[in-house]
Structure 1
Amino acid sequence: MTNSDVSTVPNAKRLLWAGFMAILAAGVGFAIRGGIFDNWSKEYGFTGAQLGAIGGAGFIGFCFGIFGGGVIVDKIGYGKLVVVALLCHILSAFVTFGASTPENAYNFLYWGMFLFAFANGTLEAVANPLVATLFPNQRTHYLNILHAAWPAGMIIGAAAGWVLDDKMALSWKLQLALYLIPTAAYGLMFLGQKYPKSEAAEKGSSFVEMFKSVGILGAVVACYLLALFFGDLFKGVSPEYSNIIGYGIGGILLVGVAVMTSFSLGSILLFVLFVTHALVGAVELGTDGWIQNITGNLFTSEQGKYLFLWTSAIMFGLRFCAHWLETKLKLSPIGLLLACSVIGFIGLTLAVNMHTFGMALVALGIYAVGKTFFWPTMLAVVGDRFPHTGAIAMSIMGGIGMMSAGLIGTPGLGYAKDRFTGESLQSSNAALYAEYKAEKPSTFLNIPSTAAYGLDGKKLAAAKEATEKTDAQKAVVLADQQGDRATLKADSYIPLIMSVVYLLLFFYFKSIGGYRPLKIGE
């Protein structure tokens, strides 16, 4: 296949690999930052809640970047947003490196993380629609190649952190500076390039026209997640009214979209895709956020790192194979998503009962195959079926996935871990549970009726770290492991639900003559 068969834009491959390098920088920085949380805790005395808030800034910043960038990119062009992202990536390093004392560290690290994530979100608002525009006939293939950069960056960042931190004990600032190398690379690769316009921008579509397919239905999904975000944001200011404030802001935004689009209901198909991508964010990124902790608990910390690198390597390699799967196995994007959801369910179900490292390699390897194609292929479906939305629908979908990971997936798995661990210990030894029970309950989505008590973190850590465990400590550790297994079981239901949705979509497209990309006007 010649380059002309793939894209009519002469610099298409350079722009593709520039986008790849941009997402690689995000993955490297994300992995290194995750590995130096313990450094920050020791150096500045942060609590787990403070570290969680700093990490949460990564999700918040990304959402603002991709939502804001996606809305304006078709009007101002890709190049200007690349400059904004590059400056924010560089500024993020300087802000983060400003942390020097326990008194100033929290603010510097929080806003440094926010700027870093904002840059990542802005780049995705550029790279996703850019690649979809460059390769209109092979969006699934090239968007998967673009997003192979994320696991590649995670591998590099995790491996580098392992060597630089665990083996060489270098300063966390030197470790973090590593992400500036791919940052400089993508800046040079984008430098001086001519960017194509999306099909919608080329046709002169107005912002309102691009937004109409999103409409009220699509906005409901995004505004609900924004309501959860603002509810969490105001929890420290007004705990009693934070949910009301959050839903109030979400409602105002929803009304704004309704008025702007002349009360367009929007596409039901796009609404279904948005809801499904929220599940993708929860099961892919949410699980990624916990999997090292869970496997490190079921096995050893070092084996947990091996397994994380193993699953990331599988994702990296397979994301170059989407075109082969489409052409050789005759899988449409929806067929690919259906197959992946079934495989993901099987992998997580097997992981529930992994008791040896070899079994873990098999189970998590199967899960990694399943989750590989979710994110980029969902973006490709939106690009194929809704070209008239320009970058807007694709960027909103990316933001929904990331917000779901930060607001539902990661906290939800943490809640499940607390709930199932507490229930396991209570059922086996009520007196021991009373001794180890956490002071404050965990809730899901701030719903009081979900309140459940996990175990006290310090007491649990002491039981796990004891070299010669008492019978009581053994029982606590066993309950914690059983809680992890029950959490993986609950997690497996997400791809199972997704498989039902994809099956219905498969039959829907079959009823209208099969899946195919559309042009504006169709």
Structure 2
Amino acid sequence: MAATSDSHRADFGNGSEAGPSSGDMLLFWGCFIALIATAFGFIVRTQIINDWGREFDLNFTQKGELFGVGLWPFAISIILFSLIIDKIGYGKAMAFAFLCHVVSAVVTIMAPTLAGDPSDPGYKDRGYWILYFGTFIVALGNGTVEAVINPVVATIFRNQKTKWLNILHAGWPGGLVLGGLLSIGLGDVSWQFKVALLFIPVVAYGAILSRCRFPINERVAMGGSYLTMLQQVGALGALIVVGLIVREVGRVFVIPDMVQLVIIGALVGGYGLAVRSLGSPLFIVLMLIMIPLATTELGTDSWITPLMESQMTAMSLNPGLILIYTSLIMMVLRFSAGPIVHRLSPLGLLALSAALAAGGLVFLSQAQGAVILAAATLYGLGKTFFWPTMLGVVSEQYPEGGALTLNTMGGVGMLAVGVLGNPFLGFIQDTRISDALRQEHPAIYELVTGDRKASVFGEYTPIDAQKVDALLNDETEERQAQAAIFKEIRDRESKRALLTVALLPCLMLVSYIGLIVYFATQGGYKPKSLSHAEEAATEY
């Protein structure tokens, strides 16, 4: 995939009242479809994770790690490309993303073949790591996509950033809806066919963007300093990003803790000495808020299908419909973001969203039967504006930060949910289920648990998927009775994990109220313009 060089276009967008050009809109829709491609991989993983679990004997924590590696490497590519994208151009970055998406799909589809003989004792372990590697690659591609599309859209629509970033990010739930429906429509075919769905949007965005000319970033066009961009993130921002990346890489490659600390210290210390800044205090606060925000949205979305499986199946509905339904709500509302943002202000909208998300998660953890749809509606309303509105706030407050501040925010979110959020939700489920079984039914506990394992959150006793299958498939009367008890406890304790997640939007609500108060003392929330020393005239 090749795209016209950025240097062929000296303007940096048409955010004026005249409106965007046809070329800008073609570029926008190409970016929109590229984001749909990232969502396809995500939704398909949520729908086939149990197939992977059965084929390669994965426990809940391992499933969480596969969900996680689909997210945290995103931060590596989005941040690294943000540092160099103004020099290499958006087109070359998108070509890399295209290659990652293709290679990942091929590797994942071939995982059973590459793992070797299923009767080999090492087959399941090799299968896990092949899936891990394939998912790692797609996450790199996804991060590169966002490294391009966020600054491109913020540049094209520089006077309406929050509105158009929300519309752009309607592509994410749109991809979840489309990919989810296509995956469900394939029925019980092999999971490899569902992975192959990724080729549809990948080929589409490759064809469109190869014909587009990309703009010069707003910061570059206005002569903004590269050092000033780096200083907005600063040493503290680098500590958050580097710390999370190194800790996860250290876990995967079994790097000793002391070596990890030395690497973190060297990288962060070097960055701090180079930029001579700890970072903007407000930006660091926004980075910290992004950690619970990403876990609330993407962490829950990763697990929502398996968590609701028993309840949805009891109503003769595909469990994947819950995520599709909440994504449909997001897509519709994000397309309507402009009037909503201007009525509430970005921070007011984020505060309201946090309150709704907390209520929705509590509701989902307790809901039964058809009431689940009402709870999902509340949760869907809450999560809709989180991600793009946070990006809008950063873009409006830090135009001098260029692609780096905007994409670092998205990178931290993906890092948080990938390294901490998804594995934590899996860890909660393993520990809650095993603890409940040990206390209530010790005999069943011995039947379904495996050897203790280590995770970033400490040791835990996993639920062994192979032992569970053996129990469920044993047709003796005693085992069938035990299987029924196990399923009841598993479903109950898995759903209750959402109660823990509900604490995160509560923390976010307090943080947003604090930011609203802070901006009120500064004369109100106002976007900043790089082209003027003063703040832009628009005031919320």
Task: Describe the superposition over 1:406-430 as per-residue Cα deviations: whole angstroms up to 9, x where unpaired.
Answer: 1111111111112222333344345
State the TM-score, normalizing by the size of structure 2. Answer: 0.85
Structure 2: which 5+ runs fail to align? Answer: 1-13, 117-125, 535-540
Q: Which amino acid aligns with 2:154?
A: A
Q: Which residue of 1 aligns with 2:270?
A: 256
Q: Who is 1:316 aligned against? A: 331
Which residue of 422, 427, 431 maps to 1:419? 431
User: In the TM superposition, what is the alpha-carbon distance from 1:105 to its structure 2 partner?
Assistant: 6.3
Q: Deviations over 1:271-294 (max 9, x none)?
A: 011011111111111111111111
Among 342, 365, 368, the alignment partner of 1:355 is 368
Q: Which moved more, 1:247-256 or 1:139-148?
A: 247-256
Alignment of 1:472-483 (within 5 A): 472-483=482-493
Question: Is 1:463–1:476's contact at 8 Å kept on the other side of the alignment?
Answer: no
Give the counterpart letter for 2:412 in structure 1. Answer: I
Q: After the TM superposition, which of the residue ranges 20-29 and 151-160 deviates more from structure 2?
A: 151-160
What secondary structure sits across from 1:300 in the alignment?
helix
Percent identity (aligned): 35
Contact 2:30–2:208 at 8 Å: present in 1 too? yes
Closer/same/farther in 2, CA of residues 133 and 439 from structure 1, 3 Å limit: same
Read off the aligned partner of 2:155 and give its amino acid letter: T
Q: Does 1:335 align with 2:342?
A: no
Give the direction of change, closer, same or farther, for the CA distance of 1:492–1:40 in structure 2 (3 Å limit): closer
| Aligned 8 A contact 2:351 2:512 in 1 | yes
Q: CA RMSD in A?
A: 2.8
Find the counterpart in structure 2 of residue 372 from structure 1. 384
Distance in 2, matches of 1:224 and 1:378, equals 22
Displacement of 1:316: 1.4
> Structure 1 residue aligned with 2:293, among 257, 268, 280?
280
Shift of 1:441: 4.9
Quick one: distance in 2 between partners of 1:441 and 1:128? 39
Higher relative CO (Cα under 8 Å, sequence separation at least 6) belongs to 2
Deviation at 1:40? Answer: 5.3
Mapped to 1, the partners of 2:173 and 2:214 lie a distance apart of: 26
State the distance in 1 between where 2:330 and 2:92 align: 31
* Counterpart in the other structure of 1:194: 213
2:164 aligned with 1:150: no
Q: How far 1:232 moved relative to its partner?
A: 1.2
Question: Aligned with 1:225: secondary structure?
Answer: helix
Whether the 8 Å CA contact 2:428–2:497 is kept in 1: the answer is yes
Structure 1: how far apart are the matches of 2:53 and 2:460?
Answer: 27
Q: Which moved more, 1:88-97 or 1:149-158?
A: 88-97
List per-residue Cα deviations over 1:96-153 (Å, max 9, x = no partner): 4555343386676544433322221111000011111111222121111111111111
Q: Per-residue CA shift, 1:369-407, capped at 9, x if unaligned?
A: 101111111111110000001000111111111111111
For the residues of structure 1 that align with 2:331 and 2:473, how far apart are their CA atoms? 34
Shift of 1:433: 3.8
SS of residue matched to 1:197: coil
CA distance in 2, matches of 1:119, 1:62: 7
CA gap of 1:120–1:75, structure 2 versus 1, over 3 A, is same
Matched pairs, number: 504
Take 1:507 and 1:464, find their aligned partners in 2: how far apart are those partners?
55
Distance 1:510 1:42 in 2: 54
Is the alpha carbon distance of 1:436 and 1:46 closer, same or farther for their aligned partners in structure 2, counting shifts above 3 Å? closer
1:174-202 Cα offsets, whole Å, 9 max, x none, are: 43333222222212322332322222111
In structure 2, what is the equivalent of residue 127 of structure 1? 149
The 1:428/1:109 distance shift into structure 2, 3 A limit, reads: closer
1:515 aligns with 2:530: no
Shift of 1:340: 0.1
Alignment of 1:226 with 2:245, yes or no, is yes
Q: 2:201 aligns with which of 176, 182, 192?
A: 182
Q: Which residue of 1 aligns with 2:7?
A: none
